[in-house]
Structure 1
Amino acid sequence: MKFEEFKNLSKFSHKKIQLSFGKFFICEDFVVAELNHELHVDWSIIQKIANMIIEHYGNTKKIGFISNKVNSYSIDPFVWVTFSKEYDFIEAAAIVWYNDAGFMSATLEKIFLKNSVKLCESLEEAVQWVLNSDEIRN
């Protein structure tokens, strides 16, 4: 389910940002990312995402990040190692998967992320988990 189809969308004030490689929904305490089909996410894309997030939230706010895998794409898992060294604004991450390939990809990403990460079967589950995580509430 895309974020724009989310039944609880009206509960969240958000700003939609469309970049060439995906859509991002900036909410008060979390970001939902929906990347384009057949994209390969490398370090340059991660930097663009990080810069967009910092531009919106600033350098000090801790947020949740939800990767809503509504499309099939690949990611270099090692970018998360570099990301963890360069940036520290994501405190909790949820990865929503919709098929076996998405689950396999999400499982691999989880190995490389240093933060709290939850694999979720629905957008609802991901939003609730991020909002209830101790890292975001404090």
Structure 2
Amino acid sequence: MLRPINEGEFVKKYDLEIGKVSFYKNYLIIEVAEGISFNHEKAKQLSRLTELHFGNQPFGYISNRINSYSLEPMDYLKIKEILPNIKAFAVVAYNNFQKASVRIENMFYQDGIVTFEQIEEAVKWIKDKLK
């Protein structure tokens, strides 16, 4: 995983069945594992870690899509229930297929997902949104 922008903000990294999750001061970066079906139940696993690291504080969520995996777009309707403190949601997409997928996901996630081509851009945007 790339170490974005300011190493002083890095808190902890987890290698889980669902993938790698790196926690920073007020945001996380997730790299979902190859072939995983990321759904409501898997998001609940992640929510336990966000509660541990962020408590009730707002945080940013960056999905670094370096692997191929499937999503349940309808589960985005429940994301506020699972991760209620997300203030900003970014995806780093590396090809046109991923960008098209995010457009579909945006139909289900009311707060909007912003797409970037580089992790550093996503981190900068997240930090700006959390100010």
Q: TM-score normalised to the size of structure 1? A: 0.86
Residue 2 of structure 2 is aligned to residue 3 of structure 1: yes
CA distance in structure 2 between the aligned counterparts of 1:63 and 1:112, rounded to whole angstroms: 20
Indicate the percent of aligned positions where both proteins have the same amino acid. 24
| 1:67 alignment counterpart | 63
| 1:50 alignment counterpart | 47
Deviates more, 1:109-118 or 1:28-37: 109-118
Residue 124 of structure 2 is aligned to residue 125 of structure 1: no
CA distance in structure 2 between the aligned counterparts of 1:30 and 1:67, rounded to whole angstroms: 11
User: What SS does the aligned partner of 1:126 have?
Assistant: helix
Residue 34 of structure 2 is aligned to residue 16 of structure 1: no
Cα separation, partners in 2 of 1:72 and 1:86, compared to 1, 3 Å: closer
CA distance in structure 2 between the aligned counterparts of 1:111 and 1:125, rounded to whole angstroms: 23
Shift of 1:85: 3.7
Where structure 2 has 5 or more consecutive residues not aligned to the other structure, the ranges are none
| 1:28 alignment counterpart | 25
Shift of 1:51: 1.4
Residue 105 of structure 2 is aligned to residue 106 of structure 1: no
Tell whether the 8 Å contact from 1:3 to 1:32 is kept in structure 2 after alignment. no
Shift of 1:9: 5.2
Per-residue CA shift, 1:12-56, capped at 9, x if unaligned? 323101111100010001000000011111111011111111122
User: What SS does the aligned partner of 1:115 have?
Assistant: coil
CA distance in structure 1 between the aligned counterparts of 2:10 and 2:57, rounded to whole angstroms: 17
- AA in 1 matched with 2:60: G
Per-residue CA shift, 1:84-134, capped at 9, x if unaligned? 24442101010110012211222222222222421111101100000001x
Question: Which residue among 58, 68, 74 is the counterpart of 1:78?
Answer: 74
